[in-house]
Amino acid sequence: MNFSKRRDCCENWACTANIGGEMVKLPDALIIGPMRTGTTWVYEYLKARGDVCLPLGVKETFFFDQRFEKGLDWYSAHFRHFDPQKHRRIVEVAPSYFHNEEATKRIKAVLGTPRLVVIIRDPIERSISHYRHLRRRGLVTESFMQAANKFPEIIDASRYSKYLARWEAVFGKGAISLLWYDDLRNAPDKFVEALCKILSLPIYPTPTTLLHKKINPAGDPPSFRLARIGKRVGDWLRERRIYAPIEFAKALGVKRLLFGTGEGAEKVKITSDERAFLQKQLADDWQEFQKRFY
């Protein structure tokens, strides 16, 4: 695999891969998460603009953390539809990259210095939402404490200081731009303006379809067993870049059938002891984040 990096019109290092004699553009900006911070909303906003090239047919490729062995040809195929007459920037919204050490190194090796964006959400609320999301996918049925032992990222991905320091160690101080989840929820136009500034894009207002819309909510599915089956089938198709059946199933309402609407998240109770545990686990990192990055 050969990589050549050049300056694009936005004065950012873009990456072009030479694959079989064909020069293929790759992302020059990544929304790296973490999970449950509004990244699906950001994806929907960028998709609605029409001038941003996103992975074809799917929000997340999971290439740099889970599917790197598939090779650059597999990854680059997601961006072969890039049109320089239409697209101002190539972006992947990939929240699972934030807390993955291998992803950090691989992104540097393959993409060079893309623009990197992290969205900051209250760490306790983010962890709780992460837990509820895993429940909706049927991956856990246990209590919060048991789930956190099974999936350490429920808590670990809320350690902003720890992982921002890791990204800066690889990409350099100041390489990460921060956005705020509270702005997305309470002042979406302010959030969009900041996002566009970071990505050197013209400011397009928030589409009315996204105003006050809760995207990808987390709550228990109608059936944990069916949710697990649905996720496995979806993962199998995504690994093979077979995205059309997934989108067709969504249009038919199969996603709601398998995973529910997610509107019952508040029914997944978190006890006061569990919140106190989270507070204890995350307090030092949050204090360090405020001191170093706020």
**Cβ atoms within 10 A of the Cβ of 28, count?**
25
Type of residue at 211: L
Rounded CA-CA distance 177/188 in Å is 17
Token representation of residue 59: 């929000």
Domain definitions of the chain by residue range:
2-127+136-220+262-292
The pLDDT score that the predictor gives to residue 8 is 37
pTM of the model: 0.87
Q: Length of the chain, please?
A: 294
Q: Are 134 and 146 in contact (CB under 8 A)?
A: no
Rg (CA), the chain: 19
So what's the pLDDT on residue 278?
97
Superfamily name and number for 2-127+136-220+262-292 = P-loop containing nucleotide triphosphate hydrolases (3.40.50.300)
pLDDT digits (tens, 9 = 90+) for 75-119: 999 999 999 999 999 999 999 999 999 999 999 999 999 999 999
Q: Please tell me the distance from the alpha carbon of residue 265 to that of residue 263, in angstroms, as a whole number.
A: 6
> What token pair was written down for 188?
């979406």
User: What percent of the chain shows pLDDT beyond 70?
Assistant: 87
**In this structure, are strands 2-7 and 22-26 parallel, antiparallel, or unpaired?**
unpaired
Mean pLDDT over 281-293 rounds to 96
Distance CA 112, CA 97 (A): 15
When pLDDT is cut at 50, 70 and 90, the band that residue 225 belongs to is confident
Asked if pLDDT for residue 34 goes beyond 80, the answer is yes
Q: 198 and 115 in contact (C-beta within 8 Å)?
A: yes
